[in-house]
Amino acid sequence: MDFSETRRVETGSNSGAESGSESLYPNFNPNFNSSNPEYNSSSFAQIESGSHKFSFVSMISFILGLVGGICGTCAILLPHSAFVPVFLYLMFISVYHMLEYLSVATFKASNLELDSFMFNPDGRYRFSLALSFAIIEFLVELFLFKASKSSKMFIILGQFIRTCAMYTAKSNFNHYIETHRDANHVLITHGIYSYERHPSYVGFFIWVLGLQTMLQNPVSLILFIAILGHFFVDRAQFEEYTLTRFFGQDYIRYKESVPTLIPFINST
């Protein structure tokens, strides 16, 4: 699962793209918007390549909005239903995927693709399978043990932290770790990054655990803690290695002054 938060650039540059690397959409204009003088009908053709078509994006967005809206409405209209946790679970997942795509579309349009929805971050659908398994576990436990289930604060907190990280980094946020430094890269230490070195990772971790806590799924909770914990420790270590190469003593001083909730990450 690749949820990298390589970002840390204050300017609105097209940072993060590997120098000399070939873009997935080489003709796509990152400054494309309706107020841009260069905006014209050919701009639509630039995104209409491969599977990343406006029709697909519209369909996926419609489905996510429909699922989120229906589930949210059911949770409100059926507050005493045993399935309220499932309604909220699906609603929160829909919001998460929409915000992931929106952040890339808003701040790093040159990297925009269908994968920006983050349905399949690891390329093997393990993330989607894990989320699906959580629903199955909930339903099995519900019908076997007639358990009463609820709780949501961790989900909201985790989504808030991750979204704050993405919006603080703006165009510098990337789902994939970058190994080449752009000439305009500047270390970001303000906002939420002044309190936590890896807020995107921490927010996602809290969000996922909150989902399993809401469903009261002990098996999924343990599995997510083990798998995500291992993943984020490795990911953060590699990212800090690349950032130390990029920024040298500036990043070392930043590490020494700003902590992280991710364990086993040295501050020196």
* Per-residue pLDDT tens digits for 55-75: 889 999 999 999 999 999 999
The whole-number pLDDT of residue 47 equals 58
- Confidence (pLDDT) at 148: 53
pLDDT at residue 146 in the model:
61
3-state secondary structure of 3: coil
Q: Where are the domains of the chain?
A: 42-257
Residue 223 confidence (pLDDT): 92
pLDDT score for 145: 64
- The structure tokens listed for 155 are 């989900």
pLDDT at residue 42, rounded to an integer: 41
Which stretches within the chain are classed as H helix? 42-47, 54-77, 84-107, 126-145, 153-169, 199-215, 218-247, 249-257
pLDDT of 124 reads 84
Enumerate residue ranges in the chain where pLDDT < 50. Answer: 1-30, 32, 34-46, 268
State the Cα–Cα distance between residues 14 and 27, nearest whole angstrom. 14
Question: What is residue 1's predicted lDDT score, i.e. its pLDDT?
Answer: 47
Instruction: Return the SS3 of 235.
Output: helix
Closest CA to 170 of 33, 16, 3, 27: 16
Q: Match domain 42-257 to its CATH number in 1.20.120, 1.20.1740, 2.40.160, 2.160.20.
A: 1.20.120
